[in-house]
Amino acid sequence: PEFAALGAIEPLERFCARSGFDTTTCFAGVWDTNVIDGTLYGVPWYVDTRLVFYRSDLLARAGYRELPGSWNEWRRAMEALKRQAGPNRFAILLPANEFAPLVALALASGSPLLEANGTRGAFSEPAFRRALDFYAGIFRDRLAPPVTNNEIANLYQEFARGYFAMYITGPWNLGEFAARLPDSLQGAWATAPLPGPTGPESGYSLAGGSSLVLCHKSRRKEEAWKLVEFLLRPEQQVRFYRLSGDLPARLEAWRDSALGSDPRVRAFGEQLRRVRPTPKVPE
C-alpha cells in the first residue's frame, strides 16, 4: 500500500488483461492483497499462509484420526491431548509474540481487524471478541504454555519429544520439519487447514507471499512485463518450487505431481483457497 500511495508502482490491469492473468488463474485471496482502492498493482509470484502442523500419532492416541474442522471440535481435541499429555506438556504451542495465529482466527471469525477507514482497531466488535475468547481460553485452560518463541530452545526437538502436539506455522517449515525431526517421527506428523468457527468452510487464514510489480517511472515496462510473464509460467512456478520450496501462485502449477503427491503440501493448497488479506494500510 505504501508504494501505491507514493505513486511508485504501475497499475497492472491492462498488462494482466493482455496476458490472461486474473483471479481464476491464482488464489483469489492472495490476488486481493494486490488490489489497493480498486486498482491492481501487483501479481502474486509465490504464496504462503498459516495452517496447523501436528503430531498425527499423538492425535490418534487421543482418539482423533485427523484434525477436526470446527473450533468446538478442535478445542475438544486439544482437551483430549492435554489429558493424555499430563501437566507438563501441552496440546498446542501459540507463542505469545507471534501475531499470526490470533489474526488468522480473527479473519476466520469475520473481523475486519481495523475500522474507521483503517485508522482504528475493531477489537471491541463481536467478531474479534469471539476469536480472542477462543484464543485466550486455550491459555486459560493450560492447553498451551504461556511462553514466547524465545523461550523454546529448539522448536523441532520440543515437537519431537511431545512438549506440544500442534503448531500454527507456514510452508517454510515443511522442509525444516522433514530435515530436523528424527527418522522415527517422519511418518508421525501432518498438516491440516485451520479449523473454522462453524466448520472447515469457515477456516480462513492469512493471505501472504510475494508479488511482482512494475516501477511507475520505468522506461522499460514492456520488457519488465515479459519477465513477469516468464516467472508466472506454470512450469517456471514448479521449477521455482523445486529449487526453493516456495509455493506457486498459479493454480495450474498445483496440478504437478511435485505438489499433488505430498499430502502435507496439498493441505496448503486447500488452505490457500480460504485466505483473506490483512488491512491494506501504508506502513
Which pLDDT belongs to residue 86?
94
Assigned fold of 2-49+215-276: D-Maltodextrin-Binding Protein; domain 2 (3.40.190)
Half-sphere exposure of 232 (CA within 13 A, CB side): 24
Q: Give me the pLDDT at residue 283, please.
A: 82
What average pLDDT does range 153-168 have in this prediction? 97
Contact 144, 166 (CB under 8 A): no
Tell me the C-alpha distance between 115 and 118, whole Å.
Answer: 5
**pLDDT surpasses 90 at 206:** yes
Whether residue 278 is predicted with pLDDT greater than 90 in this model: the reply is yes
- Residue tagged 486474473 (cell numbers): 22
- pLDDT score recorded for residue 73: 98
Tell me the average pLDDT of the chain: 97
pLDDT tens-place string over residues 55-105: 999 999 999 999 999 999 999 999 999 999 999 999 999 999 999 999 999
How large is the angle between the packed helices 71-85 and 126-140, nearest 10 degrees?
Answer: 10
Residue ranges covered by each domain of the chain: 2-49+215-276, 51-195
Separation of alpha carbons 261 and 269, rounded Å: 12
Is the CATH number 3.40.50.300 carried by domain 51-195?
A: no
| 211-233 average pLDDT score | 97
Gyration radius (Cα) of the chain, Å: 20
Judge whether residue 4 has pLDDT over 90.
yes
Tell me, yes or no, if the two domains 2-49+215-276 and 51-195 fold the same way.
Answer: yes
Percent of the chain with pLDDT over 70: 100
User: In this structure, what are the phi and psi dihedrals at residue 225, rounded to the nearest 5 degrees?
Assistant: -70, -30
Q: What is the pLDDT of residue 102?
A: 98
Q: pTM of the prediction?
A: 0.95
Residue given cell 482497531 in the structure block:
121
